[in-house]
Structures are given as C-alpha cells and as structure tokens.
Amino acid sequence: MATISRRDMRMREIADVLACICSMMHAADDGDRDEVARSHDELHGHGIEVRFLMPPSPTKRSRRRS
C-alpha cells in the first residue's frame, strides 16, 4: 500500500477546488443553476467562501417586464 504525502494530498485538494471552480463557471455559462449551487456547496465544504452572482433566468426577467 502506497502512502500519500501531505504535499500530494494538498495538491489533490487544490485540483479538486480548481475543477469545482471550472464546473461552476461552465454551469453559469450554460445557465444551470442547480450545478452552480452544487459546486458552491462543494467549495464551501473545502472551506472556501464564494460569492458568485448569476444573472436572473430568462423566465424571471420576462415576469419583471410584464
């Protein structure tokens, strides 16, 4: 059984955080609010506070105009 060094563990954690941020950005571009929320929760689990604002969904925008 191989042991994992602290440095390797930290590098894996950093890679997880970066992947989560990328996932959040792609989800935001696609308008997938559920994925953004999941990524936000995952980052919060890593101890990272994220303030990420998405524009209102098209349905909410149309309701405001009427």
The yes-or-no verdict on residue 19 having pLDDT over 90 is yes
Tokens 């559920």 found at? 34
State residue 18's pLDDT score: 92
Q: In angstroms, rounded to a whole number, what is the distance separating the alpha carbons of residues 63 and 55?
A: 14
For the chain, the structural domain boundaries read: 6-65
Q: How many other C-beta atoms can be found within 10 angstroms of the C-beta atom of residue 59?
A: 7
Q: What is the pLDDT of residues 25-50, one digit of tens each?
A: 899 888 888 998 898 888 888 888 87
With bands split at pLDDT 50, 70 and 90, how would you rate the model's confidence at 53?
A: low
Is the pTM higher than 0.75?
Answer: no
